[in-house]
Structure 1
Amino acid sequence: MYYIASHYGKYQTLLDSVKGTADGKLIFKKDQKYIEGIYMLVTPDKKIDLEFLMDNEQKFAIKVTNPTEKTLEIRNSNLNQDFANFNSFFRTKLEVIKNLEKSLADKKTKQDSAFVITDLKKIQAEINLFKNEYIKTNSGNTMALLFSMSQPIDNFLNKAEEEKLATKTDSIAYLKKHFFDGINFKDARLLRNPFLENRITTYFNTFVPVTPEAVTQEITQILNQTDQPNGEVFKYLSLHFIDLYAEAKIMGMDRVFINIYNSFFKNKEYPWLQLKQKEFFKFKVSSIKDNLIGDKGKNLFMLTQDQKRIDLYDVKAKYTVVAFWDPTCGHCATEIPKMLQLYETEWKQKGVVVFAINNNTNEMVKWKEFIEKEKLSSWINVYPAPVVTGNYTKEDVDFQTLYNVRQTPVMYLLDQDKKIIAKKVGPENYTKIIEQLEKKK
């Protein structure tokens, strides 16, 4: 059994299957047309045997006349003939590049290396020229789209001499403005090749400041150009972005997830959105929305060891470290003493107060024993009040959801107004964060 496969963004998916005829032919038939893009012939053992392009004319034949040399005989498809010609050209240039790179590794002087580097640049320029000329003469063609999406970022610097930009800032602005030239975000062909995510990632890594506001603005602009609400590109990219920032790798960037959710998913129904995705979004929103960097942390209603009421908002301090921990947690047993050392040697003189919360009220004896053993009496040691009087909802007192306490220890750094400064970073970073804040004042 052989298969036709294609890209779906960064994924590869099997789309159709067929058995070979007695004379070795593979005939694929389909009532509806395939979306234009890169397709692959996949062998029974799931290996890619051949890549080809699908355009609007989908009645064509490809015969492999020399598997070793990858020689093809193509009928009724100018696009695939162009694709084969480019692949032949590219293989030739790639062989030259490999030889030059091998030669470069053997060079002993900078001058000799410079000559080789110059030759490498010439080869790359020839490849870029091939792509640019093809784009100019085949606008709208599927291969032209692929070339546009795979162009290197510096290709846009190849402007006429009289159009050269005066400053680096102007050049960057020009590159940013033209980075997606030739790419229509309503075009479903964008998903039938492997270049889309890489191009978007390069754009964000190169041109977009790493702030929730800047990233949200750029994502919004891209999604607003797609085929929303039910088109394939909007579906793919909206889920790509929301998944990317649901587990943000940089502190504070989870706000992007909330922004995207509020703009494109909150109170909206999409027939393509699965129930498990909706449940995941709901869970992540509840886990993130009340503990965003820059927002005021929610109040915590606690009792001291001698059962006196003290809330987080009662604490008057320049900085507050809120630490959720469990006296039976092995990781806490290691981390809490380290925090105490940081407090004694660095934090205390910077105006830090530690508000340490026992997350396991079933182990009150062990909690008190640990406090005494590790000499934590200089901290405000508390546990959740079983009853909170006042005009509060159940959500107001659900500290585990408000502060996303799914495991322990969990720590936050707050300023004097109880705004969240830091989270999801090791407490050893808090001193540096405080010092950076002090420098800005």
Structure 2
Amino acid sequence: MKVLTSLTLLFILSFSTVAQQSGFQIKGKIKGLSNTEVYLAHYFGSNQQVIKDTAKVDESGEFVFQGAENLDEGLYLVSFMTNKYFDLVIGNSQFSFESDTSDIIGLMKIQNSPENEAFYSFQRDMSASYLAMQSKVKPEQMRSQMALIQQKWIKDHSKLFVSKLIQASIEPEIPAYPKPIRNAKDSSDLFKFQYTFYKKHFFDNIDLNDERFIRTPFLQRKIDKYFEDLVVQESDSISKDADEILAKIKNEAIRKYVVYKISSTYENHNIVGTDGAFVHLAEKYYIGEPQLWDTTTIRKMKERIAIIKPLLIGKRIPELFLTDPAGKLLTTASIQANYTILFIYDPDCSHCKEETPKLLALDTYFKSKNITVLAACILRDKIQWKNFITEFKIGHWKNGIDIHIDPKTGKEAYYTDFQKTFDAYATPVVYILDKSKKIIGKRIPVDKIQDFLTFYESKRN
């Protein structure tokens, strides 16, 4: 199971409901297990689990999960041995089960839990139907027949949460295209029709206001697939589609979950410029809906917005006031070039020492394009700074350090908080600026700078 970070765990805990005090007791017996431990955990998204209880297995394979408060409803898993687990639906917190390690699903017996009885019955029925048809029916016919069996089962068990879980795994069915395909335009129109329908109906099969889905893998999988496969990875498109989804969600717990998942994805995304979507979401749903969040979360969001918003693509980079090796003032505005590569580094940083030669290797390309490197040292140590310039032979770059002599006191003064002003929480940090010193790229790997600029110029032409 994935280990949770403390911040993630704090966020998860904010979703815990006020449980009744009757408690939970789940008795289990698994033949093939003895003298070991088993874990009961609930899903939190598709790749995290939160352990709720640990139980000792005795020599006969028996164990008990129990606690003073009811468990929050959702899909849980029982983990045993190494990388082995099976799922349980938690609604009623008082039931028992029995199975065998040789065939957990096939030999599972449930008592006092209609949800789990139906859940395991469904799995066995679908497996039996598949095996019965496997050698008799063509693949496409098998898919349609299995889908019919599945839909009938869902209808027959519509009052159970299990039916919602199974429904959530079903993809929207795209209707037949009503026109013949005769040429390239028709093919393009077909694709557009299928894409538009699929995107519009993507969330039809999942109840976006049933907060039990927070404790399943299905909600996060849906969100991830939607934004990875169906949304244009540009800030405006991400923001628009996020707004449309959230307009459908009234349940506060799910609303919080979806806002958190989307915004955290785009805060530091690998696609340049998508952090604008993070700012949009943070302002609209964190700052704009304070009733959903605690005051600490809102305060931290305001601080994060204050850092990121001035650094969005298209914004003029905050002015830098540095001192060059000759003791003269060096500013961003003083650089005359088609593009400026702002390279923020720390001479003590091992990664900076790896990236600097890679950046230096682009000198010939930079000269051909009238590109200047502005290397800003965040360590306020003149000796280490100058040694770094000498060691890596970067004296021809525009080199600067944030050390200035205060004319009133004659003492050293510092102007820039690099972490807050340039989001330099780790080094090196790269910003690519146009002639007007507007940000056109950031956090681009050094060995991808040339490719980025080639692509950027191709879009402009």
Q: What range describes the TM-score normalised by the shorter chain of this pair? A: 0.7 to 0.9
Q: Against the structure 1 CA distance between its residues 256 and 49, is the aligned structure 2 distance closer, same or farther, given a 3 Å change threshold?
A: closer
What is aligned with 1:298?
A: 318
What is the rounded CA distance, in whole Å, between the counterparts of 1:419 and 1:187 in structure 2? 44
Distance 2:346 2:415 in 1: 22
Q: How many Å separate the matches in 2 of 1:299 and 1:7?
A: 46
User: What are the superposed Cα offsets for residues 320-373 of structure 1, whole Å, 9 maximum, x if unpaired?
Assistant: 111223344444344333323312x101111211222232232x2343354355
Q: Deviations over 1:191-226 (max 9, x none)?
A: 232211112211222211111211122222223332
Q: Is the 8 A contact 2:286 2:298 kept in 1?
A: no
Look up the match of 2:383: 365
Once the two structures are TM-superposed, the CA of residue 18 in structure 1 deviates from its matched residue by 9.0
1:410 aligns with 2:425: no
Matched with 1:180 is 203
Mean alpha-carbon deviation: is it higher for 215-224 or for 266-275?
266-275
Alignment TM-score, normalising by the size of structure 2: 0.73
Which of 418, 429, 435 matches 2:448? Answer: 429
Structure 2 match to 1:110 = none
Q: Residue 388 and residue 236 in structure 1: after superposition, are their counterparts in 2 closer, same or farther (change >3 A)?
A: farther
State the alpha-carbon separation in 1 of the partners of residues 218 and 272 from structure 2. 28
* CA displacement at 1:305 relative to structure 2: 2.2
Q: Which has the higher helix share?
A: 1
**Cα separation, 2, equivalents of 1:436 and 1:235:** 37
Structure 1 residue identity aligned to 2:223: I
Q: Distance in 2 between matches of 1:317 and 1:323?
A: 15
- The answer to whether the Cα contact below 8 Å between 1:326 and 1:359 also exists between their aligned partners in 2 is yes
Q: Structure 1 length as normaliser, TM-score?
A: 0.76
Name which of 308, 327, 330 aligns with 2:328. 308
CA distance in 1, matches of 2:219, 2:300: 25
Q: Are the equivalent residues in 2 in contact too, given 1:42–1:49 (CA < 8 A)?
A: yes
CA drift of 1:416 comes to 0.7
Q: Is 1:355–1:380's contact at 8 Å kept on the other side of the alignment?
A: yes
The structure 2 residue matched to 1:348, chosen from 367, 391, 411, is 367
Instruction: Return the offset for 1:170.
Output: 0.8
Q: Distance in 1 between matches of 2:237 and 2:279?
A: 14
Distance in 2 between residues matched to 1:121 and 1:164, nearest whole Å: 22
- Correspondence 1:202-217 to 2 at 5 A: 202-217=225-240
Distance 1:124 1:435, change over 3 A: same
Structural mapping, 1:390-401, within 5 Å: 397-401=416-420
Question: CA separation in 2, counterparts of 1:174 and 1:95?
Answer: 33
Q: 1:164 and 1:53, CA in 2 relative to 1: closer, same or farther beyond 3 A?
A: farther
Q: Which residue of 2 aligns with 1:332?
A: 352
SS at match of 2:401: strand
Q: Give the structure 2 partner of residue 220 of structure 1.
A: 243
**Residues 160, 16 of structure 1: alpha-carbon distance in 2 compared, 3 angstrom cutoff:** same
Does structure 2 conserve the Cα–Cα contact (< 8 Å) formed by 1:246 and 1:284? Answer: no
- List alignment gaps of at least 5 residues for structure 2: 1-25, 28-38, 182-188, 408-412
Structure 2 residue aligned with 1:86: 122
Q: CA deviation at 1:425?
A: 1.9
The 3-state SS of whatever aligns with 1:355 is: strand
**Aligned-pair Cα RMSD in Å:** 4.2
Greater shift, 233-242 or 64-73, is seen at 64-73
Counterpart-to-counterpart distance in 1, 2:380 and 2:67: 66
Contact between 2:177 and 2:190, CA under 8 Å: does it hold in 1? no
Paired AA for residue 38 in structure 1: L
Unaligned runs of 5+ in 1: 101-115
Which of 294-303 and 186-195 deviates more?
186-195
Q: 1:428 Cα shift?
A: 2.7
Task: Say which of 379, 398, 403 aligns to 1:380.
Answer: 398
- Aligned amino acid, residue 253 of structure 1: T
CA contact (8 A) 1:131 1:144 kept: no
Structure 1 pair 71–289 and aligned structure 2 pair: CA distance change class (3 A): same
Report if aligned partners of 2:170, 2:205 keep a CA contact under 8 Å in 1. Answer: no
Of 280, 286, 290, which residue of structure 2 is paired with 1:265? 286
Q: Confirm or deny that 1:419 pairs with 2:438.
A: yes
Higher relative contact order (CA 8 A, sep 6+): 1
Query: Aligned partners of 1:4 and 1:373: how far apart in 2?
Result: 56
Q: 1:247 aligns with which of 268, 280, 288?
A: 268
Task: Tell me how far apart the structure 2 counterparts of residues 329 and 171 of structure 1 sit (CA, whole Å).
Answer: 50
Seq. identity, %: 24
Match of 1:198 among 210, 218, 221: 221
**For the structure 1 residues 400 and 235, does the alpha-carbon distance in structure 2 shift closer, same or farther, using more than 3 Å as the test?**
closer
Cα displacement (A) at 1:65: 8.1
Partner SS state of residue 333, structure 2: helix
Cα deviation, 1:233-279, whole Å, max 9, x if unaligned, reads 1232222223322332323222222222111112654576484x557
Equivalents in 1 of 2:206, 2:96: separation in Å? 28
Q: Is the 8 A contact 2:43 2:215 kept in 1?
A: yes
Q: Report the Cα distance in structure 2 between the residues aligned to 1:261 and 1:19, rounded to whole angstroms.
A: 44
